A and B are shown apart, each in its own frame.
Chain A
Amino acid sequence: MLKIFYLIILLSSIMFSQQIDFQSPENIKLFADFLFCDNDYLRAIDEYEKYLVAVDDDLVQFKITIAYSSMNDCENAINKLGLIKKTSPFYEQSKIELLKSLYLQNIDSVFYAVAETLINSKSLYANNAYRLKNTALLLSKTELPEKESFLIPFEVEEKKTISDFYNLKKNPPYKSEALAGVLSAIIPGSGKIYTKDYGDGITAFLLTGLFTYLAYTNFEHDHPTRAWIFAALGAGFYVGNIYGSVASAQIFNAKVNFEFNEGVKLFLEDKKYFTPNYDFCK
């Protein structure tokens, strides 16, 4: 009887002390999945790497790349995506993910090369790559293809937005630097009003007008020294305003570019860079 007791104690102590083995591969994976879904990606990656030492798992390998890319660590994401084997069920996904990371890393030459091969492949995500490439083209300095062919890969509901972007890119609402300068030369301040710096335009008009008037009256009342000082200041404001109007047009155009680029970037973010939805965390 006593022997049986001892046996049970011994057995159960072995069995149950292992009941929560924190470092068993299954438990590591369970914990890592929890961290992954809690957006605690760096810790999740550490745990997944530990798990991979013991078990070869395609899904986990792929999830590591997604974790890196969720933390905007494109460099590591690209490295890890390169390790996904052709036999992995996530091979196709890894290609479009790679394209996304290359885009975010701004490695243009590689990005377009990879995009082309992916578009011409029989991949499930060939069209996604096509859409990502064309949207990226909107942000580059290269000439855009014809509108009809440019819009081909996009879904119906995307076509309107993309078409708007296309038109903006072809005909940006720039202000002419030369016109701004000429306008200000004719009527001080009008160049700045043309570039929509209304306050600055009116101020320039008033300042130039004020000093011209002061110079004029002082000349009339025979105060030549004062008159020349005021005349010089007036001339300074006049020339400064012509210069400033040209600069203002440049800044206006920089703003147009900036807002266009931000718009396209937000569109891309909104579309998750045309990568598929995985639903790893339901």
Chain B
Amino acid sequence: MISASKRILLFIFGSLTSVFAQSTLEQQFKFANQLFTHEKYFDAITELKRLQFFDIDNKFSFQSNYLIGKSYKAGAKFDEAVNYFTRAEMNSENDDDYFTSKIFNARTNILRRTTKQAEKILNELLNDPRFISKEKEINYWIGWNYIFSDEWEKAFEVFNENRLDTTLAELCKTVDDEMYSVNFAKYCSYLIPGLGQFYTGEYVSGTLSLGWNILFGYLTINAFIEDRVFDGIIIGNFLWLRFYSGNIQNAEKFAIQKNLQISNKALDYLQYQYKGEKP
């Protein structure tokens, strides 16, 4: 009887040790989490590192690494964020944790514009039989990854095919429709100097290019007709060719710059007005 009660005492003694030890860790985690929700990310990381330091049994390894990653991500310290999401992934105890840390890793890579890396991670998840049920979510981020790679047509296809988000699908479609074709602009200017510039709406520059090319083209041809071969070669080579290649470069440049403006307008909308989930 005595020994039995002693055993019970010992058991209570022992279990209390672990219960209370864990509850202080729990409290510490809650405290860090509070700092995180109050956007005090630097301090949140300090407290999480403290938690990790005293968490000898690695009970909070996943949660702390994951939250440190999120804190760094919120401070736009993407390299560190990726590092800690990877640590979280290595410490994940179930498929859900693994999936979340992978997705956050990909989202950080999207923001960091290391879109190749993000694509690799997302494709891995897509091909993983454990996450078939989460195909929609994975595809959603694949779409965002295309947006950040400036591939709006592919983004539209992803959002549209999977019936993910009509706003995003429409936006991507509009952007893709508005985009100028850089090659078309270039080839136009190959044929008729200034045409590519007109296509992108740069009429002054287009007219100037056309003017110079007509002038020097005329002078060159005229020189050859009048058998002044040397003059012809000089004018053709140093003047006509110069403005002809400048005309093609400009057509390309304007198309690229116009496209940049279109992309940036859409990206601005996505960052500040779009209400859905963002990377």
Residues of A within 8 A of B (CB): 1, 4-5, 8-9, 12-13, 16-17, 19-22, 27, 30-31, 34-35, 40, 43, 46
Contacts and interface: CB of A to CB of B under 8 A. Distances in A.
B50 to A, nearest CB: 5
8 contacts: A4-B9, A5-B12, A12-B13, A17-B23, A19-B20, A19-B21, A22-B28, A27-B54
Interface of B: 5, 9, 12-13, 16-17, 19-21, 23-25, 28, 46, 49-50, 53-54
A13 B16 contact: yes
Given A1-B5, A8-B9, A22-B28, A40 B49 contact: yes
A34 B53 contact: yes
Given A13-B16, A16-B16, A22-B28, A43 B23 contact: no
Nearest to B20: A16
Given A9-B16, A16-B19, 10 more contacts: A1-B5, A17-B20, A17-B24, A19-B21, A19-B24, A20-B25, A22-B24, A22-B50, A22-B54, A31-B49
Nearest to B5: A1
Interface centre among A9, A12, A17, A20 (most CB of B within 10 A): A20
Contacts, number: 49
Given A19-B24, A22-B28, A12 B16 contact: yes
B contact face: mostly helix, strand, loop, or mixed: helix
Contacts of A35: 49
Contact of B53 (A4, A17, A30): A30
A13 B24 CA distance: 11
Contacts of A16: 16-17, 19-21
A43 B47 CA distance: 10
Nearest to B9: A8
Contacts of A12: 12-13, 16-17, 20
Contacts of A40: 49
B201 to A, nearest CB: 40
A46 B20 contact: no
Nearest to A12: B16
B50 A19 contact: no
B68 to A, nearest CB: 12
Contact of A20 (B5, B9, B24, B49): B24
Nearest to A27: B54
Listed from nearest, the 10 A-B pairs whose CB atoms lie closest are A16-B20, A12-B16, A20-B24, A17-B20, A43-B46, A31-B53, A20-B54, A31-B50, A16-B17, A19-B21
Contacts of B49: 31, 35, 40, 43
A248 B43 CA distance: 53
A9 B5 contact: no
Contacts of A46: 46
Nearest to B25: A20
A36 to B, nearest CB: 12
A20 B13 contact: no
B12 A8 contact: yes
A21 B50 CA distance: 11
Contacts of B46: 43, 46
Contacts of A19: 17, 20-21, 24
Contacts of A43: 46, 49
Contacts of B9: 4-5, 8
A8 B10 CA distance: 10
A30 to B, nearest CB: 7
Contacts of A30: 53
B234 to A, nearest CB: 12
Contacts of A22: 24, 28, 50, 54
Contacts of B50: 22, 31
B37 to A, nearest CB: 20
Contacts of B28: 22
Contacts of B5: 1
A173 B77 CA distance: 46
A277 to B, nearest CB: 26
A260 B24 CA distance: 58
A12 B16 CA distance: 7
A8 B9 CA distance: 8
Contact of A8 (B13, B20, B21, B24): B13
Nearest to A33: B53
A35 B54 CA distance: 13
A46 B5 CA distance: 48
